[in-house]
Amino acid sequence: MKRVAIIGGGLAGAACAYVLKQAGAEPVIYEAGEELAAGASGNPIGLYNPRLSAHRTPESDFYCAAFSQALRTFQELEDIEWNACGALHLITDEKRQKQLAQTIETWSWPDEEMRLLNAAQASDIAGVDLQHDALYLPQSGYVSPKKLCERYAQGIEVRLNAKIESVSDVDADAVILACGMGVKKFEEARDLPLFPVRGQVTFAKPSEESQKLRCALCYSGYILPEKEGVHKIGSTFQQGVEHSKIHDEDDRENIEALAQIAPGVAKELEVSGRWASVRVTSKDHFPVIGRAHDCKDVYVSTAHSAHGAVGSIAAAHLIADMILGRPLSLGKDVVRKLKPARFMGPV
């Protein structure tokens, strides 16, 4: 049985552990924090979407596969606060309208999985008055990243307060570096062009109008329907900032972005809390997944940016395939686009 050391107990690491355990390997998670999901994956509730683009690209192929794998995985797990409440992507200009019409043509998903709606139809689905047409994705929704990590790691050996400095500190047949920006501390991933992006989610008590909201609204930000008396309104993006301190102005920014697109929903919301952390992105804004450059048994899963809820599970399947010598679950163009070595000259 292959023993696999996974460094990092966020979505990327815990998802790898889950998939490897199901495949009969023996994963062990080493997490520097006092609990799993001590970093960006500590988000109590996150949005998930398939992230399709107007034309097929390796990026959209990755997220399309990831979306489908994520839905199957969420179905297998209990108590992850999963709600496929649907998402309306509001359309604010003609260019976006054309892009989304092209997206529908390119992907040819059936109407019940993706369709364009006029403002009146979108309002009916949302349960609130909307002035914009929208792309409707009924299977999108929200899930708890924190609870996902806990469920993924159920029945798996987890070592907490275990900050690993070098892959030689762990005794395993293979090592997965899944520790966000922390991967750069390891010789095997030191040269990866990764960047921190701080973000803050705002929690707000619903108003009489906003509590009617039945699905997620996506625009430059997003708002989720109220759950237990709280809306989650996300999120700010501050490139190059690597701390999780709270900023009051981020709450204002989140509410203002909502007010611009759905003023009736934003009116009279009362901010009741917030959560901030640091995402990781790469130079080309695509996740970094695969065998570390020039290393036999060291793998990387990081740079999941704002899409770790779905991206981490597709990453886990791909890395498990590589470690276990199975046919790869993603096509060769996608694998090439994801691999750490893409930054080391011609690929």
Ligand X SMILES: Cc1cc2nc3c(=O)[nH]c(=O)nc-3n(C[C@H](O)[C@H](O)[C@H](O)COP(=O)(O)OP(=O)(O)OC[C@H]3O[C@@H](n4cnc5c(N)ncnc54)[C@H](O)[C@@H]3O)c2cc1C
Which token pair is 229? Answer: 């008396």
Q: Does 31 bind ligand X (CB under 6 A)?
A: yes
Q: Which of residues 149-208 bind ligand X (CB under 6 A)?
A: 162-164, 178-180, 182, 185, 199-201
What is the smallest separation between the CB atom of 144 and ligand X, expressed in angstroms? 10
Q: Does 10 bind ligand X (CB under 6 A)?
A: yes
Q: Does 46 bind ligand X (CB under 6 A)?
A: yes
How far CA 39 is from CA of 31, 43, 148, 262, in Å, comes to: 10, 9, 14, 31
Among 12, 64, 88, 334, which residue sits at the site for ligand X (rule: CB under 6 A)?
12
- Local structure of residue 10 (DSSP, 8 states): S
Comparing CB distances to ligand X, the nearer of 77 and 101 is 77
Comparing CB distances to ligand X, the nearer of 133 and 317 is 317
Among 141, 221, 225, 234, which residue sits at the site for ligand X (rule: CB under 6 A)?
234
Comparing CB distances to ligand X, the nearer of 31 and 209 is 31
- Can you tell me whether residue 66 is helix, strand or coil? helix
- Local structure of residue 292 (DSSP, 8 states): P
Comparing CB distances to ligand X, the nearer of 34 and 208 is 34
Contact 70, 139 (CB under 8 A): no
Q: Report d(CA 167, CA 70) in Å as an integer.
A: 29
- Strand arrangement, sheet containing 288-291: 157-159, 26-30, 3-7, 174-177, 298-302, 288-291
What is the smallest separation between the CB atom of 220 and ligand X, expressed in angstroms? 14
Among 60, 69, 235, 282, which residue sits at the site for ligand X (rule: CB under 6 A)?
235
The number of residues that bind ligand X (CB under 6 A) is 44
Which token pair is 21? Answer: 């355990």
Q: Report d(CA 214, CA 318) in Å as an integer.
A: 35
Contact 307, 51 (CB under 8 A): yes
Q: Report d(CA 162, CA 29) in Å as an integer.
A: 9
Q: Does 48 bind ligand X (CB under 6 A)?
A: yes
Q: Does 47 bind ligand X (CB under 6 A)?
A: yes
Comparing CB distances to ligand X, the nearer of 134 and 189 is 189
236-265 footprint of ligand X as x/- string (CB under 6 A): ------------------------------
Among 6, 25, 38, 217, which residue sits at the site for ligand X (rule: CB under 6 A)?
38
Q: Report d(CA 21, CA 28) in Å as an integer.
A: 10
**Listed residue (332, 20, 30) closest to 177, CA to CA:** 30
What is the smallest separation between the CB atom of 33 and ligand X, expressed in angstroms? 4
Contact 273, 191 (CB under 8 A): no
Q: Does 50 bind ligand X (CB under 6 A)?
A: no
Which spans of this chain sit near ligand X (rule: CB under 6 A)? Answer: 7-13, 30-33, 38-41, 43, 46-48, 145, 162-164, 178-180, 182, 185, 199-201, 234-235, 277-279, 302, 304-309, 312
